[in-house]
Every structure is written in structure tokens, then in C-alpha cells.
Structure 1
Amino acid sequence: MGRTPYRSAYQRLQTDRRSPFVLGLPTGGTPLEAYKHLIAMHKAGEVSFKHVVTFNMDEYVGLPAGTPGKLPQPSCTVTSSTTLISHRENINLLNGNAPDVDEECRQYEAKMKSYGKVNLFMGGVGFDGHIAFNEPASSLASRTRIKTLTEETRIGQLPLLRR
């Protein structure tokens, strides 16, 4: 896919400090092409991420730091967010090793709500139709939480965990 769809979608990123653009970013293979285009557009000066705040989704609970493929690393932290966003405080990641993961989810959700809305959510879609690790039949009203993944989803994630 060319850069035109990305250019159109990301022209809205031009915001200011008082009204940041809130971007929800998935992990996995689905968004990698979009991330490449975003980085290229940023380097070409076509789009600025100065006032963009990201909320990165999908983190495994209990994987030790440094595990190859620990989810934020291949998707956003290294590949995209830190390349695009110079203010680390604008990059929001879930901590799958927090002492109280349920509280981590509540705080993450509260911080997201403090911005009012997510302007653009890039949802990754899995083999079985799961969106952002929300397996088929997940409640549409559910929020940030621990979610048990199907065997098919876990198998689909193996290439990322082996990086």
C-alpha cells in the first residue's frame, strides 16, 4: 500500500500543546507497514508528532523485562514511538510486571480518559478476528484488563516472541 492513505489519516496529527492528538497503537504484525510510513513521513517533514500522545496496547502479563519480543518493544517503543515522539511522557505503555496488574489497568484507563478521547485507534486484527487481543465474543464495553488469549492467538504471536 502506498503512502496516500497514511498521509490522509495523519494530517490530523497537526495539533497543539493544549489539545494533543491521542493515538492508540497496537502491537503485532498488522501495524508494521503503517509504522514504516509514519516514520518516513516524519523524517520527510510531512507530519509532526510534537503534540501526539500514544497509548500502546497489548502487553503480556508476567514476562520478564528483556524477554525477546516483549510486546511494546517490537511494535512501538523502539520501532516507532521513540523515533517519532521526543517527549517520553507522551508514550504510555502498560506494565505487565506491575505488582498489581489490575490497578495498572485502572490507572492506564484513567490516564487515557483524562485526555477526553482517543482521536485515532489503529487496531491490529488477528487470525481469528481478534482486535487488539480482544478475542471474538469479548464484550464491546470492556476496558483495559487482563485477557486470556486463545491457543490460536498465542501461536500467532510466537514469531514476535522469538525476535
Structure 2
Amino acid sequence: MNVIRTEQYETMSQSVVDDVRGYIGKLEQPVLGLATGSTPVGFYESIRQAQPDWSHVTTFNLDEYVGVSPDHPQSYRTFMERHLFSEIPVKASHIPDGQARDLTAECDRYEQLIAEQGPIDLQILGLGHNGHIGFNEPGTSFQSRTHIVDLAETTRQANARFFGSIDDVPTQAITMGIQTIMEAKKIILMVSGHGKEHAFNRLMEGEIDEQFPASVLHNHPDVTVYVSEVE
């Protein structure tokens, strides 16, 4: 696991952009795994400023809230359109359908789609306060595939700032499983923001344990962790 520290969030974001562009620029039909949340916002902003031609890039997002329509202001489809796709078109963009009638079937469909169009060449991740990656909360099996998850109260509290009230935050999500994430050829983990120091220290110093999902990244052969000064 390669750790790259920067003092400024903007520097970290630009460094990730440089890494991503350098890596996928060598591929004819790259498949890129994308994350949402506050940490990667600067990454997407830097991509928009660079204006790369990503018409040959296929993307898969990690997750989506259950019960939230694609045009909801806080859906991850809306997030991606706002921060990336509206200015940087891609060949195809895939996000789980949180309104599917049969959520289990939707999980299977999404997993099959990744298998057909993947494997994912490069996966972007953020680090949750409790160590979650994607929406894989503590206790999630390292062998998990795309599945429905009950969101931890700490996760809902952390995301309440986007919804205005914790009562409005969905209680479930569809997320890529940990095994699915680990099958990406390269992984970039971005760590920044208030309260992430404890999670980062546990990642670097703790044991590999399903109670801290991000710890599984120590088992991957190609992980780069970009860290801006955590508060």
C-alpha cells in the first residue's frame, strides 16, 4: 500500500486526477469505478477543468440510496451529473437503480453488468468514519458481492448534512460488495475531511478485520492512498 500525503486538499485532488489520467490513458477501453461524497468533489472539479476526452471510458458507481429517484437532488445519479457527466461525457455510465421493484434482482443485474463490461481497471474509493468503503458497513463479509445494506446510524448522521435532516436520509443502499471492489486492477483511496484521522490511523495500524472494511485493502496488490491533512 503506497501512501502519498499532501498538505492541501486541492493538491491531493489534482494528484489523483494526474494518476487516473495517466493510468487510463494507456488503455483502449478503460473501465473506471467512481465514488461519491464530499472527498472526491475536488477530484471531479479538477477533471472538469482538464476537459479530457473520456468518450471511450465506461464508469461504474459504487452505490446508490434505496428508494431515491435518479432525479432526486441527493441521488448519486444527480451527484454524478452535476460534478462530472454534464461536462465530461463518457461512453457509458452505470449506477445501481435504488428504485428497482426487485432490489435483489437489481444487485444481481449490476454484478453481472460489471462482469460483462469489466473488470474495473481503476476504482476510486473514499474512507468512511467507521471504515466503510462504498456502503459496506462494519461486519460486511470480505466475500460480498453487490448487495443491499442497512446504513449504520453513524453513516446516516455523516450524510445528514446533504439532506438537511437525518430523518430524510435513506436507511438502505445498494452497494458494490467488497469482493467486487477488490477485483479492480488498481485502487485509489482518498482520505480527507473532518474526523478522518482516527479512521486513517486504524487503517494503517490496525489488523485486517471485517469490522473495519477498508482494512481489506491491505490484501490488494495495487493500492495508493492519497491523504490530505486530516483534521
Letter in 1 for 2:34: L
| Residue 88 of structure 2 corresponds to residue 84 of structure 1 | yes
Find the aligned partners of 1:67 and 1:7 in 2 and give their Cα distance.
31
Cα 1:116–1:55 shift into 2, 3 Å: closer
- Gaps in structure 2 of 5+ consecutive residues: 1-9, 165-231
- Gaps in structure 1 of 5+ consecutive residues: none
SS at structure 2 position matched to 1:12 = helix
Letter in 2 for 1:68: P
The aligned residue for residue 209 of structure 2 is none
Cα 1:103–1:40 shift into 2, 3 Å: same
| Residue 74 of structure 2 corresponds to residue 38 of structure 1 | no
Cα drift, residue 135 of structure 1: 1.1
The aligned residue for residue 143 of structure 1 is 145
- Tell me the matched-pair count: 153
Find the aligned partners of 2:160 and 2:151 in 1 and give their Cα distance.
13
Cα 1:65–1:14 shift into 2, 3 Å: closer
The aligned residue for residue 23 of structure 1 is 32
SS at structure 1 position matched to 2:45 = helix
Percent identity between matched residues is: 31
| Residue 67 of structure 2 corresponds to residue 69 of structure 1 | no
Cα 1:12–1:48 shift into 2, 3 Å: farther
Alignment of 1:1-163 (within 5 A): 1-2=10-11, 3-14=14-25, 19-42=28-51, 47-74=52-79, 76-87=80-91, 90-162=92-164
Find the aligned partners of 1:93 and 1:116 in 2 and give their Cα distance.
14
Find the aligned partners of 2:26 and 2:101 in 1 and give their Cα distance.
36
Normalised to the residue count of structure 1, the TM-score between the two structures is 0.83
Letter in 2 for 1:141: Q
SS at structure 1 position matched to 2:37 = coil
Find the aligned partners of 2:130 and 2:15 in 1 and give their Cα distance.
29
Normalised to the residue count of structure 2, the TM-score between the two structures is 0.61
Larger radius of gyration: 2
Cα 1:64–1:52 shift into 2, 3 Å: closer
Find the aligned partners of 2:61 and 2:86 in 1 and give their Cα distance.
12
SS at structure 2 position matched to 1:91 = strand
SS at structure 1 position matched to 2:33 = strand
Cα 1:144–1:53 shift into 2, 3 Å: same
Cα drift, residue 86 of structure 1: 4.8
Q: Deviations over 1:3-46 (max 9, x none)?
A: 24421331222366xx411111111112111111111122xxxx
RMSD of Structure 2 on Structure 1 (CA): 1.9
SS at structure 1 position matched to 2:17 = helix
Letter in 1 for 2:121: N
